Chain A
Amino acid sequence: DSNVQYERVGADVTMKCGSMDWDAAVTWTVNGTDIDESHLNGSYLILKNVELSQSGQYSCYEGSSWHLKYQTYLRVGTPPKEPVLMCRSNNYPKGFYCSWHLPTPTYIPNTFNISVIHGTKDMVCEKDAVPKNRCHIRYLQLFSTVKYKVTLTVTNPLGKNFTTLTFDEFAIVKPDPPESVVAKPVPNNPRRLEVSWQNPSSWPDPESFPLKFFLRYRPLILDQWQHVELSDGTSHTITDAYAGKEYIIQVAAKDNDIGTWSDWSVAVHATPWTEEPKHLTTEAQITETTSASTSSFMAPPTTKICDKGAVVGSGAVAVCWTAGLVMAAYSVLFI
């Protein structure tokens, strides 16, 4: 008759052919293929140091009649290692979720059981349909100093393991990253970039539980980030961008009072506004070369001198003398 047999990787497995005597003549097959007699000890099948690849359906047939005498499905696997458990509240103050996984696969079915205790009270963590290894719990109490204790037990036919997490209500609060981050150049402002974003949609009540934000930005060509912390509002204007350089910008969020910072948002790219290159009225007409930056364009020749406040794109030779000598200094930087 058919059954399932679980064995550890590396184990020695002996299969008996049902009620057949040791000296009976039998044939063993695995997944329909005959097994060589060298693996037999009488009518017993001996598998030494089993490997994962030896999982399959094993059948034993009586020698002459070819009657099926025994069948089993062998599944080779491992007992579970200590599971990895994480709990987080990204929808404070509604509740929190816990998710888990095994550090290495067992190759056989595992059952997970989770228990949540708050003080002396048992709480039910409702399993999510998707993703599978996740459950969520609603807060029954807020502002409690009593810690939560979450125990995850994983069991399979070869063994059992567990892990425990203990935390307080505030410690696991971590919002999702801000959404819809947009960065735009500001017309006629070569050093500005306007960044705006939205609260993560999973955060249920930003009015009562406001988020604060952390913005980081750098030009693609540099490794060093600039940081700005913002205690309110969902927009910010960067005013010290290097002219003509493409920037990468990200935002993170945190509850104003408790918990930890979210992961960084999806990165957005933007380049500050640059004036269209112009021809200068000098004796030797200097033609603008197209800059190395992404926003290159050829402007029709004009007789105008550079406008006040304009900084020519990188790679250009011309320097605009305006009321601000500081502009010249910036231009030199980009040669």
Chain B
Amino acid sequence: MAAADSPSTALRRRDLCSRGIRLAGKMRADVVDLLDIYVEQQGLDASASVAAVEGVPLAAVERWDEQTGTQRLLENLAAYRAFRALLAQMLEEQREQLGEADAGLGRALAAVLLQVSAFAYHLEELLRLESRGIPGEEGDGPPPPPRLSLFEQKLRGLGVLRELAQWAVRSARDLRQLAKPSPATGTAPGLAESP
């Protein structure tokens, strides 16, 4: 049975959603710029196909329009937590490879990592608002992946950034869905408990 939102909850949700949409928009723009820098600095072909990399959350989803609000928030949160770890790893690898020689790329990576962390936190806020338990992060995260060659690392990085760019678009759409008021009860669609 759905509990009607208090007006302040509805307002807070709308506010969080609008800010989240703006965050996602900025994040996407920065990731797209970062992709250009990354491709150039790593000597990659921008149109290279990258096979799905293990551990990189795919933005692709079937029946997106049928998802509930809770599903959207949980999937987004899981994704951005994973990206947080992946980007941190990329930053580490990049420092190992190039030291301080490529501060520009390092700075750009760090800036995106910061936005990803901020967005993850933002999603946690939205989940708290729905009185949803926030899933704990799995211990220290997944076991460290096998050591990749330099070239494999670069391709993986490309895959990570491309998928993150997709997620940023998806997240903005997800938050817009969340922000839509439900006509009858005033709750956001999909956030009600299923009977």
Contacts and interface: CB of A to CB of B under 8 A. Distances in A.
Contacts of A209: 173, 176
A93 B167 CA distance: 15
A143 B62 contact: no
SS of A interface (majority): loop
Interface string A35-71: 0000000000000000000000000000000000000
Given A93-B64, A257-B25, A257-B28, A143 B169 contact: yes
A143 B61 contact: yes
A93 B62 CA distance: 12
Interface in A117-147: 140-147
Interface in B164-187: 166-167, 169-170, 172-173, 176-177, 180
Given A207-B180, A208-B180, A257-B25, A141 B173 contact: no
A257 B170 CA distance: 10
A208 B170 contact: no
A258 interface: yes
Contact of B59 (A140, A144, A208, A258): A144
Contact of B62 (A141, A170, A210): A141
A257 B22 CA distance: 11
Nearest to B173: A208
A208 B62 CA distance: 17
Nearest to B159: A145
Interface in A131-171: 140-147, 170
Given A207-B176, A208-B176, A258-B169, A143 B25 contact: no
Given A142-B64, A145-B166, A146-B60, 17 more contacts: A93-B64, A142-B61, A142-B170, A143-B59, A143-B60, A143-B61, A143-B64, A143-B166, A144-B58, A144-B166, A145-B59, A207-B176, A207-B180, A208-B176, A208-B180, A257-B25, A258-B169
24 contacts: A93-B64, A140-B62, A141-B60, A141-B61, A142-B60, A142-B170, A143-B59, A143-B60, A143-B61, A143-B166, A143-B167, A143-B169, A143-B170, A144-B58, A145-B59, A145-B166, A170-B169, A207-B176, A209-B173, A210-B176, A257-B25, A257-B28, A257-B172, A258-B169
